[in-house]
Structure 1
Amino acid sequence: MAQLVNGYLLFWPGSPGNIKIEDLSQSSNLRIMSNERAYGWDFMEFKSNIPLDNEDHGILSPPYLYKIMCRRSGPRVLLLSTGKKIVDVLIEKEINTTLSPNLRPAHLKINDLVHLIVKSPDRYLLTSVYCRTPAYGADLQSLSMFGDDVGNAELFREIMDRMTAYRCGLGRLRDRKEIVRLGSDGAISFFWENERRAKEVESTLNYLKNNNLIETDWNEVLK
């Protein structure tokens, strides 16, 4: 059954080499789930004394356990879970208290990505676009657009040069099914289903890397 997962693309600045799962799991609140490693992904269990995923206090009691999905490549890592707050707390309160230098989110050039896809839709299309609209001042500060192919809409093409996109959804060109949503702050969300979906998400990140749309030292294709 598909499950929505949220998290970040991060990098380890000044890393002496490949980041290891042991580097990420030094906290006593993290446990490597070694028996669940699959198609290049690692899984960890995160133990928290406070609820992070809208749990009912009257039914559940601490500790609260959360599954963490992790994909590593060189000094870069994807960290995902069933809620963005889980990953925020995981990074700030657990991983970055034991890892030095700290993990940092990658900057994704979403506005450039949107323009690239509109002009050259060879692999992907836009299923959603979130934009700031500085050209309109305080009268109109932001816009959100959704559809099967936002970049193909005449209205969007007419106004896109007066907007700055900071988040978007990417879908497959062949069947218009959304693959992943990406944010300029490195945020990533998608429906975790199977190996094919995991590989599709990795492929979209490689597409960004190959088009110089990731601002880190991301120089290797995910393997």
Structure 2
Amino acid sequence: MKLSNPPLPKAVFAGRLCRIRLEGGIDEVLQRIAGNREPARLNDISGTKWKSFWISFPRALSSGDEPDEYGNFIYPFLCRVSDDRYIIASTDSNFVNFLIEFAEIENLVDSPRVLVDRAARDLVLPPLDENGKSLGRRYTLGAVYGAVEGYARALRNVSFFGDDIAEAELFRYSLNQISVNRLTLRDPNVDKEVMSINATGGLDFHFRNPAQLNLLDALTGFFRNNQYIEWRRGRTWEPQ
């Protein structure tokens, strides 16, 4: 008998943008994991283009995990599919790494290059339209992480936090000395943090309800339309 899945937890989900070079896509991934068993069921999330699924692994993926009443270690996943490109996330990014490794598809998964440094600068000084007018800022910066040359040429990590740090004079002054490697974006229309993303497509977001997933779709569309995401051929997957 196929067991029903529990509701998705309201929690921080972490994972990655990736491209999967399998004809069967995520369905084939789930079949590879299941082997001779029935694969996990993909569930549509109402009002969104996202799907969810739960995977039962033969052992705990992190210390302290408890099996369910049937002795299974099950973990929730969220998935967004667009052609051969995916967002796959779970309550721990290591679970996504294990999913890829358990399916033995490391050589078939590509990671993008995400131009977070350029995105951060555009959100501080928005680009101009063809008439020379500012396009304005659709999103605000809630956090920026980067590296800066310190004394004795040592590489130092820096981070800035705030409701809209692009308005902070200290951040604007420091930006030319920073190489941004991760940023967190907020949607001022709803006054909510939408997503944190790094330069290789690792991301995290707080799943509260399906509407949060639509905000995430709009933000990834913003990145795509502004050409902040570059896909690379070959084996570029690496654990986040």
> Which of 193, 204, 213 is residue 189 of structure 1 equivalent to?
204
> Which of 29, 32, 35 is residue 27 of structure 1 equivalent to?
32
Contact 1:43/1:67 (<8 A) preserved: yes
Q: Secondary structure at the match of 1:116?
A: helix
> Which of 160, 169, 178 is residue 154 of structure 1 equivalent to?
169
CA distance in structure 2 between the partners assigned to 1:147 and 1:162 by the alignment? 19
Q: For residues 65-76 of structure 1, what are the structure 2 equivalents within 5 Å?
A: 65-76=74-85
Deviations 1:178-203 (A, max 9, x none): 11111111111111122211011011
Q: Sequence identity, in percent?
A: 22
Contact 1:4/1:82 (<8 A) preserved: yes
Q: For residues 165-176 of structure 1, what are the structure 2 equivalents within 5 Å?
A: 165-174=180-189, 176=191
> Which of 102, 109, 112 is residue 103 of structure 1 equivalent to?
109
In the alignment, which residue of structure 1 is the partner of 2:178? 163
Question: Which amino acid in structure 1 is aligned with residue 31 of structure 2?
Answer: Q
In the alignment, which residue of structure 1 is the partner of 2:237? none
Structure 1 position 3 matched with structure 2 position 18? no
Q: Secondary structure at the match of 1:25?
A: helix
Contact 1:43/1:69 (<8 A) preserved: yes
Deviations 1:194-215 (A, max 9, x none): 2211011011111011111001
Structure 1, unpaired ranges of 5+: 218-223
TM-score, normalisation: structure 1: 0.83
Structure 1 position 37 matched with structure 2 position 44? yes
Contact 2:113/2:230 (<8 A) preserved: yes
Q: CA distance change for structure 1 residues 28 and 211 in 2, over 3 Å: closer, same or farther?
A: closer
Q: CA distance change for structure 1 residues 64 and 85 in 2, over 3 Å: closer, same or farther?
A: same
CA distance in structure 1 between the partners assigned to 2:93 and 2:228 by the alignment? 23
Q: Secondary structure at the match of 2:181?
A: strand
In the alignment, which residue of structure 1 is the partner of 2:235? none
Q: Secondary structure at the match of 1:32?
A: coil
TM-score, normalisation: structure 2: 0.78
Structure 2, unpaired ranges of 5+: 1-8, 127-135, 233-240
Q: Which has the larger radius of gyration?
A: 2
Contact 1:32/1:43 (<8 A) preserved: no
1:23 deviates by 2.5
In the alignment, which residue of structure 1 is the partner of 2:6? none
Q: Secondary structure at the match of 2:55?
A: strand
In the alignment, which residue of structure 2 is the partner of 1:115? 121
Q: Which runs of 4+ in 1 moved over 4 A?
A: 56-62, 135-140
Question: Which amino acid in structure 1 is aligned with residue 119 of structure 2?
Answer: L
CA distance in structure 2 between the partners assigned to 1:205 and 1:167 by the alignment? 15
